[in-house]
């Protein structure tokens, strides 16, 4: 099993385990994290946007051009942002920390 730590928008920490091959978006949703993932992995929504610590970001395979384009549209995206639907867990990602940005709708009002 691969350990993943979610840090919620309010700073709450949740540790979960998932099998290799699981998609990060589904792991997050199964854990009750507020990631919408509206397009279910079609790279058409960016509501599955997550932020990684630099050290974990560098452990991930590089984002595709399509993913980069979607991230450009994601609200609050930073250099170490990724789309959770494009991240498939494997053994090299054990101990990954994933930050869930505040709910997308709320971000408009900040």
For ligand FES, the binding residues (CB under 6 A) are: 25, 37-41, 43-48, 70, 83, 85
Nearer to ligand FES, 1 or 30 (CB): 30
**Residue 5 · residue 96 · CB < 8 Å:** yes
Nearer to ligand FES, 2 or 77 (CB): 77
Least CB distance to ligand FES at residue 52 (A): 15
**Which token pair is 100?**
């869930």
Q: Which residue is nearest to ligand FES (CB)?
A: 85
**Which token pair is 87?**
């991240």
Least CB distance to ligand FES at residue 39 (A): 3
Q: Per-residue b/e over 58-77, b at no fewer than 16 CB within 10 Å?
A: eebeebeeebeebbeebeeb
Nearer to ligand FES, 1 or 107 (CB): 107
Residue in the block written with tokens 């990631």: 35
């Amino acid at each position: 099993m691969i350990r993943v730590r979610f840090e919620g928008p309010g700073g709450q920490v949740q540790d979960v385990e998932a099998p290799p091959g699981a998609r990060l978006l589904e792991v997050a949703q199964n854990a009750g994290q507020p990631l919408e993932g509206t397009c279910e992995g079609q790279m058409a929504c960016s509501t599955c946007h997550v932020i990684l610590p630099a050290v974990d970001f560098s452990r991930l395979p590089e984002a595709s051009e399509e993913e980069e384009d979607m991230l450009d549209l994601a609200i609050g995206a930073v250099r170490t942002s990724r789309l959770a639907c494009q991240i498939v867990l494997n053994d090299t990602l054990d101990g990954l920390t994933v930050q869930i940005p505040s709910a997308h709708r709320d971000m408009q009002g900040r």
